[in-house]
Structure 1
């Protein structure tokens, strides 16, 4: 199955104001991701080549902000990196950028004189790791030195670093072409390795990096990154060299090293990992078209299918959930169950849908499914009236596509009955059935839940209209299930409740 591609030419990339607004994102299926702009210049604190979910799918931590490159020809150095500081951009490596493409992983192509550099970035599936595959063609008459400068950090992706006010505490070790950093706060380890060349230790800080999009949002917009040194590869005259830089992160050094080894220690290893990761994307497309043979393949649909996959994440013990959006959204119940038909059912991913429903039933407390699960703490928040009702609808949609009543009866039915029971007699946040059969709720429990100084911006207490539609739908769904599972008295009760509502 052919993967789709989007390309930008040199002329398109020359229009800085347009190009800087174009962003890419790839994910690893754990909640982690890599993201930047097509110019390779980070404009958000959420950008980074390795934003690792240290406790999948949460605790997303920026570990590798970027890789900046340079090539030395004789005594002349050409810098391919691009960083923004307040009032200026330095270096201006985007001026050497000849092409950019995503197919489906991002590739940057730089050129200066007779030297051409291609960098392709990918994330191995279900690993907190990222790899940059380099192909350097030296068409000149002399050997050249190619250097890669990693900009490292270790911060929750909502935060920024000011090394003078909130210094990072870490130790650094080097083993050949591998360097490892162990951080105290937060407790984490980052390892980075080159498959060719050598690492030259030369610690430095890149201070006051400016993130224009954060400034536009009124957020903290300056950041400091640590540069432990650089990797150097000698590329002989009239030769092409291929090599890779691999970065891994985990909550401790042993796991970090293990992840690094699974990606590979040689260029051939990393290229095999790249093919494996590409094959995973191809299988997503192939499975969809195999299940819907009447649908002709098309690029727009392929992009839609691959994009849908980025939201589906796997946590501890293989538990499936959905992130509500990138960059900063967490696992939100409402968004998850609204999107479940499009993400998992129309795409034929029925087993993952079943596991997701089962996973979130385990969160059910006093008849409520969580509003969201906090990225940092992993704690569930239950301040919602509609996430639970959308959950019941998601079960109905699951049954429409799969007809798997057996799993629902065995794994979800008792929980569903508990949900209705709690709503009937009253549960948290003043959620209860009123005398008119409608569902009563507090002021900030629908999708319009913004608050300022502890007060709801758009208070919708009592009986929001869409909540009543969802409540009625839930009761009719429960009646259907009660009949199917041969509980006629319960089916009659749910029907009576629906008629009153």
Structure 2
């Protein structure tokens, strides 16, 4: 039985199966996403969702859904499922699903009387945007017709489609199919099959489709979809038909070959780790010769902080050094532009955030741990020196080194850290001044640069290493003086005479990084407080329940969710740093505890979006998953933790 498997009983229970989502990307910026029962519950869902750069930098839903109908002896059995206004479902095809499996590709098996039909979906990983859906008639005792009814949207993932007279409902015949383009500016959508099919033209708007996940998020939740007609063909037992939807015309005779060839290149979803590896690959996007890492799905883009925080876990932790270097080639262009005060020439956003340079140096440090410091120095030594000098010289507009060596940031008016939620443009968590993770990273980065240059640098670089070491010693002393409080944990930030006493997870970086200014006893006290107040089975709380403003439930309107976003919700990516700190403090005696913590995430692969980790969880039981269905930082954090645990066990 495949690792990701759901039986008929599970699929028939809509309260459960309706909210299990799946995501397939083509690594070119397009994706296919829906639910296990094929009922779209988000405006971001669709079988073919593609970027249309001629319009904007968002994705656009072209093919929203494809309804299947099995016809025998004149009786029609519709396998589709849609939710309409008022919570009404029609048709109710989920009752025919015998099982869902995902080994290499998502696979549904339907049973209608004596008919057994198998459906498989593949999204081709190429520059052309093309989804392939294969239907195989596994068993039937009499003549069987299969009808395929496409539902079209042609809209941005951030907009809605409603019935209108502006849509071009006409079609153009192509090789064993048709092409359509509802609105100017969009590409044509080619819908074809690999065997002759009759297309019955009968355009109609299906009105009042309802998306409960959008209602849950406090947004509008109703739209309409255009059904231009349907394709119909006869299948005999053992026969298959491949349906293709894409933005370029395909060779219909080769669709089966294309699908089989693509499937042969796919990896198995046969374990916890392999699912996360596949999830790591989903964030990859190649565009204009550059490799980007999406921060998450469905609505995130490539962001600088997320890129550097996620890159080691999504590449090095799964043995993909070359992929790391390819991502870094693109990211280095963004860093070069920023350091030289040029417009950013690649599509990486938020490069001006003050901690981005600190995370970039940490990211390079992780590379050195995998390939060796000499090779790291040869490849990234110059970049490291440039970043450090940029900070030394005070060239960043919002990152200032004070006489005590610590870095100061102004975060009163706009968010400057990963805790970046806002209301009316103002930060909900206005972290400003000396920020704990900024300065933990700063101390760690300085020690790393000293280590790298002392071992590999030329004479002038060794002089720089000496000065860096002296600065690191100053920073380490100041860090303890400023952040370590009388109760044994670290202030979240200190701004003049104001210190934030909230117990937050950012202090974990102060004890998890390779170089730490605290001694083992101080680190243990910090760790124990974090364990007691912040750890949940699904990640680390963004705020202790004992601190003021604790708001653990990420539900309700946009404003309600923003108020909870960093005020008690649990974040899986922090688990990587927590477990790293735990191993440093408790050594081998912490291994069993870490294994138990990781087990808590394995069950999440069967909820939310299959095979991956969602954006965040409620901070209180039962710890519901919330937000985006897949977040790069979270997948990275768990993969890093697994890698650390394996390495630690193998070295004992």
Q: Secondary structure at the match of 1:245?
A: strand
Per the TM alignment, residue 31 of structure 1 is displaced from its structure 2 partner at its CA by 2.9
> Displacement of 1:406 after TM fit?
4.8
**Matched-pair contact (CA < 8 Å) for 2:311–2:324:** yes
Q: How does 1:260-299 map onto structure 2 within 5 Å?
A: 260-261=250-251, 265-266=252-253, 269-282=254-267, 299=271
1:497 pairs with 471, 476, 500, which one? 471
Counterpart pick for 2:303 among 318, 324, 332:
332
Structure-2 separation of matches of 1:477 and 1:213? 45
Structure 2 counterparts to residues 211-222 of structure 1, below 5 A: 211-222=211-222
CA contact (8 A) 2:169 2:203 kept: no
Aligned to 2:174: 175
| Structure 1 contact 204–227 (Cα < 8 Å) conserved | yes
Change (3 A) 1:353 1:461: same
Deviation at 1:326, TM superposition (A): 1.9
Instruction: Flag structure 1 segments of 5+ consecutive residues without an equivalent.
Output: 250-255, 286-297
Write the mapping of 1:24-173 to structure 2, written as runs, cut at 5 A.
24-54=22-52, 59-87=58-86, 88-127=88-127, 128-137=129-138, 139-141=140-142, 143-164=143-164, 168=167, 172-173=171-172
Q: Does residue 399 of the first structure (1) align with residue 371 of the second (2)?
A: no
Residue segments in structure 2 that go unaligned for 5+ positions in a row: 476-652
- Alignment partners' CA distance in 2, 1:98 and 1:62: 29
Asked whether the equivalents of residues 39 and 82 of structure 2 are also in contact (C-alpha less than 8 Å), the reply is yes
Greater shift, 466-475 or 322-331, is seen at 322-331
Tell me the secondary structure at the aligned position of residue 354 of structure 1.
helix
Write the distance in 2 (CA, Å) between the matches of 1:179 and 1:207.
24
Alignment of 1:318-467 (within 5 A): 319-364=290-335, 365-367=337-339, 378=347, 380-403=349-372, 405-406=374-375, 409-410=378-379, 412-443=380-411, 444-467=415-438
Take 1:488 and 1:133, find their aligned partners in 2: how far apart are those partners? 62
Structure 2 CA distance for partners of 1:9 and 1:369, relative to 1, 3 Å: farther
DSSP 3-state at the match of 1:430: coil
Question: Once the two structures are superposed, what CA deviation does each residue of 1:51-81 show, in whole Å capped at 9, x if it has no partner?
Answer: 2244699632222111101122233221111
Alpha-carbon distance in 2 for matches of 1:130, 1:95? 25
Q: Distance in 1 between matches of 2:151 and 2:457?
A: 58
Aligned residues: 463
Query: Residues 281-334 of structure 1: CA distance to partner in whole angstroms, max 9, x if unpaired?
Result: 34x89xxxxxxxxxxxx72222222222222332221x2222222222221222
Q: Could you say if the C-alpha distance between residues 244 and 368 of structure 1 is closer, same or farther in structure 2, counting changes exceeding 3 Å?
A: farther
Structure 1 position 12, deviation (Å) = 1.8
CA distance in 2, matches of 1:497, 1:169: 66
Inter-partner Cα distance in structure 1 for 2:298 and 2:3: 22
CA distance in 1, matches of 2:377, 2:225: 49
Higher relative strand content? 1
For the residue of structure 1 that corresponds to 2:431, the secondary structure is coil
TM-score (norm 2): 0.66
Q: 1:132 and 1:200 mapped to 2: Cα distance?
A: 20
Distance 1:333 1:492 in 2: 30
Q: d(CA) in 1 for partners of 2:184 and 2:360?
A: 37
1:467 and 1:438 mapped to 2: Cα distance? 9
- d(CA) in 1 for partners of 2:314 and 2:463? 36
Q: Which residue of 1 aligns with 2:489?
A: none
**TM-score after normalising by structure 1:** 0.85
Partners of 1:214 and 1:323 lie apart in 2 by 22
Q: 1:346-394: per-residue Cα shift (whole Å, max 9, x none)? A: 2111111011112101012443999x999xxx57333422222111111
Instruction: Indicate the RMSD between aligned Cα atoms, in angstroms.
Output: 2.9
Mapped partners of 1:115, 1:369: distance in 2: 65
